[in-house]
Amino acid sequence: MTLNIIAIIILLAWGGYILYWYLAGRNAAKYVKQEEYVGLMHTSQIIDLREKDEYRRSHIMGARNIPFSIFKQSYNGIRKDKSVLLYDTTTRMSTRAAITLKKAGYQDIVILKGGFTGWTGKKANKNG
């Protein structure tokens, strides 16, 4: 009986944690599909949050790399007067980065649904 109660408490805590990040992310940024993301690229700043080695292998054309591991120390170089398009491998780091940017006063933050994993558009590769 005690183990069941502990298991329920753990599941509720985990569910609360997931719900918190989901709602915080939705409040901080707009999640869009690739088609809409592409339409915003020409007037926005594209930020790749993956680590440098992943970025060097392949990234979305026009993206600037600010690895999530140093994002909190480096985001001040992102302009507040332009839309910020974020992506990472999935969306977990983008959500956290969006929350950080929102708290710092950034207004127009967009996250690529599915992240780089689902990207089928133009890529810059190591060999070209």
pLDDT of residue 127: 60
How much is the average pLDDT of 83-91?
A: 96
Its sign, for the CA torsion 30, 31, 37, 39, is negative
Q: What residues does 31 pair with on adjacent strands?
A: 111
How much is the average pLDDT of 53-70?
A: 96
- Total domain count for the chain? 1
Q: Which residue has the higher pLDDT, 2 or 43?
A: 43
How much is the average pLDDT of 116-123?
A: 93
pLDDT digits (tens, 9 = 90+) for 100-117: 999 999 999 999 999 999
pLDDT digits (tens, 9 = 90+) for 11-41: 888 888 777 777 777 788 999 999 999 999 9
Q: Which domain holds residue 91?
A: 2-125
Give me the CATH number covering residue 27: 3.40.250.10
Helix (H) / strand (E) containing 86:
strand 83-87
| Tokens 């480096």 found at | 74
Q: Which of 74, 26, 81 is nearest to 48 (CA)?
A: 74
What's the rounded Cα separation, in Å, for the pair 9 and 63? 42
